[in-house]
């Protein structure tokens, strides 16, 4: 199967389409070119190319009509991604480890498309939350591990790679769905319907059996 994506910029922000919905890139990490994040504070906001984060800028204007945020986490090397909804910015979603050590979903979690799944004793995918291990954020709510790591600091994991849903990867990005009005009034906004229809200058995922 193949995975293809193209993005466009407006000002200092990068946008793209996932399944014909407009998203804003809020996090990107290339560990080979950028190295580890020095600490979790650096991972909250950083304008470097290969360690990019504007997680602190995710606010209420990005909520969907149902009051939830819609996110996508992307693994280009694995040619896969997840799309889901949750109530809180992951920075405001604490990890909760219950006495029975059973996994749980983050607040308001809604499954949309999950291609990078995980369900085992170490981690069960159910949205993103603050991590209490070697990353700022992870996707293992209710459990101690930190797969789906966002803001990886290079601790407590083997290899010079990032923890995805299973295997180690070099790059990961996180996107939040935005309303078209966010970029309305620009020349880009005026031609967005055409871009979506013909898959030009858009964020395209093509998943084909090979």
pTM of the predicted structure, to 2 decimals: 0.87
Element (DSSP H or E) covering residue 87? none
- Burial pattern 48-85, b for ≥16 Cβ within 10 A else e, equals eeebbbbbeebeeebbeeeebbbbbbbbbebbbbbbbb
Q: Is the Cβ–Cβ distance between 205 and 81 less than 8 Å?
A: yes
The pLDDT of residue 189 is above 80: no
Q: Is the pLDDT of residue 115 over 60?
A: yes
- The one-character DSSP state at 180 is G
Percent pLDDT > 70 in the chain is 83
pLDDT at 201: 36
* Token pair in block for residue 83: 């799309």
- pLDDT, tens digit (0-9, with 9 covering 90-100), for 66-99: 999 999 999 999 999 999 999 999 999 999 987 7
Confidence of residue 164 (pLDDT cuts 50, 70, 90): very high
Six-digit token string for 128? 């993103």
Domain spans, the chain: 25-176
What's the whole-number average pLDDT of the chain?
85
Return phi, psi of residue 105, to 5°. -85, 160
| pLDDT tens per residue, range 49-66 | 999 999 999 999 999 999
- Say if CB 29 and CB 75 are below 8 A apart: no
Residue 198 has what pLDDT?
40
């Amino acid at each position: 199967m193949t995975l293809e994506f193209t993005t466009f910029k407006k000002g200092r922000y990068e946008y793209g389409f996932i399944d014909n919905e407009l998203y804003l890139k809020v996090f990107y990490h290339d560990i080979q070119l950028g190295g580890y994040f020095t600490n979790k504070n650096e991972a909250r906001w950083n304008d470097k190319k290969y360690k990019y984060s504007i997680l602190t800028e995710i606010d209420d204007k990005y909520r969907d009509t149902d009051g939830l945020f819609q996110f996508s986490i992307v693994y280009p090397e694995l040619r896969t991604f997840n799309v889901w909804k949750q109530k809180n910015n992951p920075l405001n979603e604490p990890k909760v480890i219950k006495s029975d050590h059973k996994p749980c979903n983050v607040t308001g979690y809604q499954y949309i498309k999950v291609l990078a799944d995980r369900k085992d004793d170490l981690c069960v995918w159910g949205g993103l939350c603050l991590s209490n291990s070697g990353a700022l954020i992870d996707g293992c709510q209710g459990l101690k591990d930190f797969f789906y790591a966002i803001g990886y600091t290079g601790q407590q994991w083997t290899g010079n790679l990032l923890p995805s849903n299973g295997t180690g990867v070099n790059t990961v990005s996180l996107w939040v769905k935005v309303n078209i009005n966010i970029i309305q009034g620009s020349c880009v906004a005026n031609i967005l319907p055409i871009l979506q229809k013909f898959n030009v200058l858009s964020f395209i995922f093509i998943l084909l059996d090979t």
